[in-house]
Amino acid sequence: MKISVVMTTYNSEKNIEEQLQSLLSQTRKIDEVLIFDDQSKDTTSEIVKSFIDRNKLSGWVYTVNEKNLGWETNFMQGLAKGSGDLVFPCDHDDIWALDKVEFMENMMKDHPEAELLVANYEALYENGKKEILPVKTDKIYRKINLDEQILRVGYPGCTYCCRKELIDEAANYWRDRFPHDATLWRIGLLRGTVYATNRAVLTRRIYSQSASATLSNGIKSFTKRREWLDYAASVLTMLEEYADNEDCEDRSRAQQIISHNQAWIKERKKFFDSRNPWTGLKLLKSANLYPNQLKSYLVDWYAVYFKR
């Protein structure tokens, strides 16, 4: 099997060399490493070019985008350019276990039913604390089934190993500003081809000012939460189109779940726009669709009445 790794960079000078070294040191040599820089303003370009030249790396290609694309577009376009049978999304500041590629490739060889294999990771916080996330289980390999919370993404893209077929399928439905990992995850769930291993395959640095942390911290604000509802409605429209036209593991159930979520998002938008408490109370019957159920439902009330 041919292995591709796709990395995106933007002002990545602080930790990128350590990540590049972890790729170079893999027990299974990577056939193709594609690095797409989104107009960095620091020394990222010099560091990457020097690393490739110094180690005489064939199959490693560094490209600077003609204009800033944003991380979502940069990643999805980059993944589509990967030519491997298996494609690994790669963040610039992680540290991969030295046998990550070998381990995940062997898992994919042993399990042809998997189009997307996700894994645990070791979270490394700024204070030095470490923990294994996101799922603690004794099962080395398990299927992740579609459920009512189709908008929730259970694993970050840095843990993904994707068959090229899934990337090509998802790229046909991807829309501007959709995160690559969320798109692959949701399409994979509809197809019934998402599987997980409990092994931690990388160390992931967690920053208080990272994109994911910023989103998490800002999600209580009225504006951010209302913007997310528009995004969610767009995602559901995309998934509806996919479920209506492509292969799904259980088309009828997928369509029903998508419909339930569309009604829920529509009602939430109505609550945010009208501030009608009766509308908010009616949302209680859909509390199971919220990521943290009742707790997340109550945050809607907090955002509507206290964070405008």
Q: Are residues 121 and 266 in the same domain?
A: no
Single pTM value for the model: 0.94
For 264, the domain range is: 219-306
Q: Are residues 179 and 94 in the same domain?
A: yes
Q: Are residues 159 and 241 in the same domain?
A: no
> Would you state the pLDDT for residue 207?
83
Indicate whether 215 pLDDT > 50: no
Task: Identify the domain boundary among 210, 236, 270.
Answer: 210
Confidence of residue 307 (pLDDT cuts 50, 70, 90): confident
Q: Are residues 13 and 116 in the same domain?
A: yes
Residue 114 DSSP class: -
> Would you state the pLDDT for residue 216?
38
Please count the structural domains in the chain: 2
Q: Are residues 156 and 126 in the same domain?
A: yes
CA distances from 28 to 104, 106, 240 (A): 10, 10, 39
User: Quick one: which of 91, 79, 149, 81 has its CA closest to 116?
Assistant: 79
> Would you state the pLDDT for residue 209?
54
Indicate whether 154 pLDDT > 70: yes
> Would you state the pLDDT for residue 219?
66
Structure tokens given for 150: 């189709």
Task: Identify the domain boundary among 152, 175, 210.
Answer: 210
Average the pLDDT over 186-192 and give the result. Answer: 98
